[in-house]
Amino acid sequence: MSSAVITVEELKVKFDQEGFMTDPNQWTPEIAEVLAHAEGIAPLTERHWQVIRFVRAEYERSGESPTLRTINKKSGVETKELYELFPKGPAKKVARIAGLSKPKGCI
């Protein structure tokens, strides 16, 4: 996959080769909705937003996208539910939707 650019509400958003935003500061809730739809996750529910808000706050605190273990332990959402909300790789999917880089340790 090559780098891509999409336009959301007049904002050109750049992505790396794996589909992660290159500038997390460009992220908006509207971009999250577009990215979630592209991931096959739509509409976003309040539980999705709870996880998205958590990973964004954790990124602001640490400068890194949180791992699945961190999300599971600190977000208030259990692993089973994370896989239901963000199937097939929840840490990577939520990082993409939240406009962050790929979590360390993710393949």
Phi and psi dihedrals of 56, rounded to 5? -65, -40
Q: Is 106 a catalytic residue?
A: yes
Residue 12 or 85, more confident: 85
Domain ranges of the chain: 4-97
pLDDT for the residue numbered 104: 84
Catalytic entry in 6, 8, 34, 106: 106
> Which pTM was predicted?
0.89
Tens of pLDDT, residues 20-74: 999 999 999 999 999 999 999 989 999 999 999 999 999 999 999 999 999 999 9
pLDDT for the residue numbered 7: 66
Q: State the CB neighbour count (10 A cutoff) for residue 70.
A: 17
Check pLDDT > 50 for residue 1.
no
